[in-house]
Amino acid sequence: MISPPAAASPRTGGTPVFRHELYPYRGEAAFLQGAVTFIHDALDADETVLVAVGEDKRAVLRDAVGAGAGRERVTFMDTGALGRNPGRLIPAWKDWIAKSFGHGLPVRGISESPWATATPAERGELRYHEWLVNRTFIDSPAWWLLCPYDTAVVEETVLDSARRCHPYHLVEGVHGDNPHFADGPFPFDELTAPRDPEQSLVYGAGDLGEVRARVAACARRHGLTGPRLQEFLVAATEVAANSVRHGGGRGTLRAWVSDDALICQFDDSGHIRDPLVGRYRPTPQQIGGRGLWLVNQLCDLVQIRSTAERGTTVRLSTALS
């Protein structure tokens, strides 16, 4: 588990800085009713709106919102362009929020994750993303994010997790406090076992070339070549180098293929304390600290598990096709 900062509760007893709101609905008609009302309320309040939903929802929502007054203040984010890695979502929201506040505009957002098409591993990271959103924006200027969940698509376990991550909810047209919200440590899913645990490499400071060679050999055996392989090798080398610099000087690499994806796992004795590591966009003036940001940009999925007692595991995945 990763614990929240000491005073990270999204409720502070007064006006919330950031309103993270769950919207359980069932079917397209209910989605449109809640989302369109939310957008129109924002436009009536002279606010700007960013909508991040799937391509099918974008089309119907554009038609439903229409071309009336204030329509130019509604922006639709192409979440497909971000790829499948949930680690890229928070930086995209931060960029847009900063731009909107820079123009002096109050902000609302709608964000629906691709639960229907996500793999089990991606679902776990989407759950973690929802938990991290509260930590990310606790000190931001006030804004409001509505998160729709289609109860006809998501399992009850997913909805239960969402209830624990959202301090507020929209139920039967009424916005209010969510009594199921729990501001505690995040309960990670256990990582699946490596497919070939006996095929491992213990590496140190002089072994990064061997790390790259092992990953490349596994990738080529399964048809991954060209620019995607080169990007994955950069990411793998960066994580291995982090083990050497910050994880006790050594680590263990395992590589295998599962569900049409190449997976590399790096284990070391270090401890990552910042739950938002890899989700800060580096500044031009920044010295260091770019590694896991770069890894998130190059991989289809990044899973990090880190405790003081067990050390750190970083698992990287990239699709073979």
Domain 200-319 is classified in which CATH homologous superfamily? Histidine kinase-like ATPase, C-terminal domain (3.30.565.10)
Residue 87 has pLDDT above 90, yes or no: yes
Cα angle: 176, vertex 130, 255; to 5 degrees: 165
CB 232 within 8 A of CB 224: yes
What's the confidence (pLDDT) of residue 84? 86
Domain definitions of the chain by residue range: 18-177, 200-319
What's the confidence (pLDDT) of residue 287? 67
pLDDT digits (tens, 9 = 90+) for 268-282: 999 999 999 999 888
pLDDT digits (tens, 9 = 90+) for 108-155: 999 999 998 899 999 999 999 999 999 999 888 889 999 999 999 999
Q: How far is CA 95 from CA 50, 102, 255, in A?
A: 12, 10, 34
Residue 25 has pLDDT above 50, yes or no: yes
Q: Mean pLDDT in the chain?
A: 89
* Chosen CATH of 18-177 out of 1.20.58.220, 3.40.50.300, 2.60.120.470, 3.40.640.10: 3.40.50.300
- In a 13 Å sphere around the CA of 14, the CA atoms on its Cβ side amount to 2
> What number is the average pLDDT over the span 214-236?
96
261-268 and 74-76 strand pairing: unpaired
Residues 40-56, buried b or exposed e (16+ Cβ, 10 A)?
bebbeeebbbbbbbeee
Cα 103 versus chain centre, distance: 26
Q: In percent, how much of the chain has pLDDT > 90?
A: 69
What's the confidence (pLDDT) of residue 198? 67
Closest C-alpha among 183, 188, 196 to residue 262: 196
What's the confidence (pLDDT) of residue 99? 83
Report d(CA 302, CA 278) in Å as an integer.
9
Sheet holding 200-203, edge to edge: 200-203, 251-258, 261-268, 311-319, 301-307
Question: Which residue did the predictor score with more confidence, 11 or 69?
Answer: 69
What's the confidence (pLDDT) of residue 1? 37
What's the confidence (pLDDT) of residue 15? 56
Question: Which residue did the predictor score with more confidence, 227 or 140?
Answer: 227
> What number is the average pLDDT over the span 256-276?
94
> What number is the average pLDDT over the span 28-56?
92
Beta bridge partners of 313: 267, 305
Question: Which residue did the predictor score with more confidence, 167 or 79?
Answer: 167
pLDDT digits (tens, 9 = 90+) for 144-170: 999 999 999 999 999 999 999 999 999
Residue 96 has pLDDT above 50, yes or no: yes
What's the confidence (pLDDT) of residue 237? 97
What's the confidence (pLDDT) of residue 282? 86
What's the confidence (pLDDT) of residue 197? 65
Residue type, 52: A
Q: Where are the alpha helices (DSSP H) in 66-119?
A: 89-102
Q: Where are the alpha helices (DSSP H) in 103-191?
A: 120-136, 156-165
- Both tokens of 246, joined, read 């910050």
Own/partner pairs, 224-233, CB within 8 angstroms, 24+ separation: 224/262, 224/318, 224/320, 228/318, 231/298, 231/299, 231/318, 232/262, 232/264, 232/298, 232/299, 232/316, 232/318
What's the confidence (pLDDT) of residue 105? 75
Report d(CA 184, CA 173) in Å as an integer.
28
Residue 67 has pLDDT above 90, yes or no: no
Report d(CA 271, CA 305) in Å as an integer.
9
What's the confidence (pLDDT) of residue 294? 94
Question: Which residue did the predictor score with more confidence, 3 or 92?
Answer: 92
Q: Which residues contact 272 (CB under 8 A, 6 or more apart)?
A: 304, 306, 312
